[in-house]
């Protein structure tokens, strides 16, 4: 294509050169005619000169010869001019004009010669370029012939490769089709052989379904017989009550345990009270060393408080005297801790004024840890015992509520604000986006987590405590379990809360930023009191969202959660008003009735069937488990009475009968 363009351009240049030459010749001819039209005697000489000029234009090589001829003609013209000048003055004037015109024509002739030389140079250059282009055309044509040959060879090779691939694919498809036909024949044979087995399984299923439908009647009959025998045993126990009068204290312990069990079934919040010991500095101050608290030797759930000549009695679930150890306190709460392994939401929070021992009870010291570390160690022990059948994962988070702001104590930047939101999975549970979670597997992991959390927690000095906690600290422990044999899953949560001091602002002597902290603390604790009052009065609306504390503890103060409140009390008379407020609040909390406890255990079987048989077996298994729980609680209660040998023998007989009944009716 480039060669064609060059050829067209060459032709165009030739045409332009040709037209230019013709135009120049026409100009020269016109000049010659002008000279011939003058009435001068020199017209013949000028026509002779124009003739010589036209010939010179077409014959560039003879330029010198014509120039010489022109010169000779000029000499002759001068001679004639001189002769004519003598004859007439008019002729002289005409001669001068003609000489001027002759000079102008000579100048034009020189310019035309120069242009002619330039055009000849361009012509030679165009001819040389054309020759080069013809050479390139020949080279390109050769390359095109070679490429055409290579293309034909490649096309032939591709055609052969295509034929070979098609042939191989055809052979492979034939072999696969043959294998598919063979497998289809085998499947058909298996289908024919499985049809009798399917009919047998259908018959077995129908029989099992009928048995399951009859099972509730059998169970009712068995339960009725068991009730009759249990009633008989109870009547015998009633007849022996006269022998148990001397065991009044032990009956009081039994009454307390039965009451705790009733509280668990009703879903009430358990309330424990711990009185801290008097420090050495307080003992040195004689005017404030005398304690105003006393304990009931017959009932460890009663606390007496003397104030202004009046004695106030507070009945709680358990009262720990000042000499109670950390281990004794934990023994009373460990049953709640282990409940989270079974899928319950559990909350244990310490409440009381600053300096009453809340942080000591919850966290303890290095050589004598509190509930937090002991709870995690107990969870590790329980998880290890269930390891062959269950796989558990324990994660820990620490949150601080400081000035009504959530802070991530285990995060890289603890000052970042967090928010509480509803879980988007539709479970209705609350969660905190961005909250750091650490998986713990050993006591060393626990120590690292606690060290980081304590380092980031806000504390300050007040009149009541040199290192007062100015925020609410929450240790959130999540236990997720999976039984690979049955497919059961459990997820429980244990909230361990160390509340900030509940004393009044005037008592703590807070000023400036400490005053604002105290106001936020009192606001959140007041919101907690409003929630307790609403739950106690069974209001339809409970103001959980009035405070970040109550909103975060919503799962622990409602529904199927298990909650324990540890009230910390100071024995000093100077703190008596704060102690009375704390104990009164504890009694209000104790009267709150939550829903009946039920775990968040979820069973995820591999089968997605929801047939009546599966549902009936689940209901029956739940009834048997509930009867078993009631029966063994009764067994523990009866054994604690320490009846005579005849009664023990009767109980053993009932136990054997009940175990036989469970073995015969368990699927």
What 3 state SS string does 508-556 have?
A: HCCCCHHHHHHHHHHHHHHHHHHHHHHHHCCCCCCCHHHCHHHHHCHHH
CA 207 to chain centre: 50
Residue with tokens 């120590």: 447
Over residues 522-554, the pLDDT tens digits come to 788 888 888 888 887 788 888 988 888 888 888
- In DSSP terms, 364 is beta-bridged to 369
The CA distance from 404 to 614, in Å, is 49
Q: Is 489 exposed, middle or buried (0-12, 13-18, 19+ CB in 10 A)?
A: middle
The predicted model gives 468-492 an average pLDDT of: 85
pLDDT digits (tens, 9 = 90+) for 111-168: 888 888 888 888 888 888 888 888 888 888 888 888 888 989 999 999 999 999 999 9
- pLDDT tens for each residue of 165-218: 999 999 999 999 999 999 988 888 888 888 888 888 888 888 888 877 877 787
DSSP string, 349-398: EEE--TTSSHHHHHTB-SSSB-HHHHHHHHHHHHHHHTTTTEEEEEEEEE
357 a known binding residue? yes
Q: Indicate the DSSP class of residue 593.
A: B
The model's pLDDT over 337-347, given as tens digits with 9 standing for 90+, comes to 888 888 888 89
pLDDT for 320-335, tens place per residue? 999 999 999 999 999 8
Q: What is the pLDDT of residue 605?
A: 36
Q: Is 559 annotated as a binding residue?
A: no
Instruction: Give the architecture (CATH level 2) of 325-589.
Output: 3-Layer(aba) Sandwich (3.40)
Q: Does 459 belong to an annotated binding site?
A: no
Q: Is 101 annotated as ligand-binding? A: no
* Residue boundaries of the structural domains of the chain: 2-151, 240-268+613-667, 325-589
- Which of the two residues, 222 and 508, has the higher pLDDT score? 222
Does 355 count as an annotated binding residue? yes
| Collapsed DSSP state (helix, strand, coil) of residue 106 | helix
Question: What's this model's pTM, rounded to 2 decimal places?
Answer: 0.52
Are 501 and 353 spatial neighbours (Cβ–Cβ below 8 Å)?
A: yes
Tokens 């959980």: give the residue: 544
- H-only helix segments in 308-355: 326-339
Q: Cα 321 to the chain's mean position, in Å?
A: 48
The response to whether 356 counts as a known ligand-binding position is yes
The string of pLDDT tens digits covering residues 13-60 is 778 777 877 776 777 667 656 545 544 443 443 444 444 444 444 443
What is residue 164's three-state secondary structure? Answer: helix
Number of other CB atoms surrounding residue 408 within 10 Å = 22
**Consecutive H or E run containing 245:** none
């Amino acid at each position: 294509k480039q060669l064609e363009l060059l050829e067209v351009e060459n032709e165009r240049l030739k045409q332009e050169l040709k037209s230019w030459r013709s135009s120049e010749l026409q100009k020269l001819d016109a000049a010659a005619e002008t000279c011939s039209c003058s009435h001068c005697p020199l017209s013949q000489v000028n026509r002779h000169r124009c003739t010589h000029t036209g010939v010179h234009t077409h014959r560039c090589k003879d330029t010198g010869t014509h120039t010489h001829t022109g010169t000779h003609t000029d000499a002759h013209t001068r001679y004639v001019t001189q002769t004519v000048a003598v004859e007439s003055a008019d002729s002289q004037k005409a001669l001068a004009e003609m000489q001027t015109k002759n000079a102008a024509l000579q100048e034009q002739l020189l310019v035309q010669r120069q242009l002619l030389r330039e055009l000849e140079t361009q012509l030679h250059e165009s001819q040389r370029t054309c020759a080069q282009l013809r050479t390139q055309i020949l080279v390109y044509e050769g390359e095109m012939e070679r490429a055409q040959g290579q293309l034909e060879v490649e096309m032939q090779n591709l055609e052969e490769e295509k034929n070979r691939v098609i042939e191989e694919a055809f052979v492979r498809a034939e072999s696969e089709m043959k294998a598919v036909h063979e497998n289809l024949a085998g499947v058909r044979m298996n289908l024919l052989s499985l049809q009798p087995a399917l009919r047998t399984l259908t018959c077995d299923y129908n029989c099992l379904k009928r048995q399951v439908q009859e099972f509730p009647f059998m169970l009712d009959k068995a339960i009725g017989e068991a009730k009759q025998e249990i009633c008989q045993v109870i009547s015998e126990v009633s007849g022996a009550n006269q022998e148990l009068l001397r065991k009044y204290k032990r009956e009081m312990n039994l009454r307390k345990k039965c009451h705790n069990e009733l509280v668990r079934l009703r879903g009430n919040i358990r309330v424990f009270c711990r009185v801290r010991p008097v420090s050495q500095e307080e003992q040195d101050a004689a005017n404030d060393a005398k304690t105003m608290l006393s304990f009931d030797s017959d009932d460890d759930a009663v606390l007496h408080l003397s104030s202004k000549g009046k004695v106030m009695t507070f009945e709680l679930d358990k009262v720990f005297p000042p000499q109670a150890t950390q281990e004794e306190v934990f023994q009373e709460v460990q049953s709640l801790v282990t409940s989270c392994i079974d899928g319950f939401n559990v909350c244990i929070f310490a409440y009381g004024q600053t300096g009453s021992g809340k942080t000591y009870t919850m966290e303890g010291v290095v050589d004598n840890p509190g509930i937090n570390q002991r709870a995690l160690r107990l969870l590790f022990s329980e998880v290890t015992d269930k390891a062959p059948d269950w796989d558990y994962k324990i994660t820990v988070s620490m949150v601080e509520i400081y000035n009504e702001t959530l802070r991530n104590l285990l995060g890289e930047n603890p000052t970042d604000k967090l928010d509480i939101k509803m879980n988007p999975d539709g479970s209705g549970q609350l969660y905190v986006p961005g909250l750091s979670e650490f998986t713990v597997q050993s006591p060393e992991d626990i120590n690292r987590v606690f060290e980081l959390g304590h380092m980031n927690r806000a504390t300050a000095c007040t009149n009541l405590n040199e290192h007062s906690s100015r925020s609410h600290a929450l240790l959130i422990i999540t236990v997720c379990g999976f039984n690979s044999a049955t497919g059961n899953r459990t997820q429980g949560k244990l909230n361990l809360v160390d509340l900030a001091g509940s004393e009044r602002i005037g008592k703590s002597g807070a000023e400036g930023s400490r005053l604002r902290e105290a106001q936020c603390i009192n606001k959140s604790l007041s919101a907690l009191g409003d929630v307790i009052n609403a739950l106690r009065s069974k209001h339809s609306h409970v103001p959980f969202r009035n405070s970040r504390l109550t909103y975060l503890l919503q799962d622990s103060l409602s529904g199927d959660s298990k909650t324990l409140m540890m009230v910390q009390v100071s024995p000093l008379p100077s703190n008596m008003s704060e102690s009375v407020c704390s104990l009164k609040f504890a009694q209000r909390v104790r009267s709150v009735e939550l829903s009946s406890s039920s775990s968040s255990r979820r069973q995820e079987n591999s089968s997605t069937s929801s047939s009546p048989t599966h549902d009936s077996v689940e209901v029956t298994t739940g009834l048997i488990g509930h009867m078993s729980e009631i029966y063994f609680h009764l067994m523990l209660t009866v054994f604690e009475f320490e009846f005579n040998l005849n009664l023990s023998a009767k109980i053993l007989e009932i136990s054997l009968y009940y175990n036989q009944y469970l073995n015969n009716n368990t699927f």
